[in-house]
Amino acid sequence: KYLAQVQQAGVTITDVQWAISSGHLVCKDMARGSNSESEAASVMRDIPGMPHFQALMIVFAAISSYCPEYLGR
């Protein structure tokens, strides 16, 4: 589900393991009190040139797939 949502956001996945690990890292950060905007900023640092809306879509995909208890944060 996560990878499909990321691809639907227009993001090309070149390293599946990295993408999955990054999705789980979003959840770990959220458990420590992070929020969607902070996580999107982190994604944009990790992937130079990533548009903000795509970074948010990646974060949303991770949360909805791996840790839905953080939806809306």
Q: How far apart are CA 59 and CA 4, in angstroms?
A: 13
Dist. CA 47–CA 67, nearest whole Å: 22
Q: Report yes or no: 55 and 43 within 8 Å, Cβ to Cβ.
A: yes
For residue 45, give Cα distances in angstroms to 1, 54, 65: 24, 13, 22
Structure confidence by residue, pLDDT tens digits, 7-41: 998 899 999 999 999 999 999 999 999 999 999 99
Model pTM score: 0.91
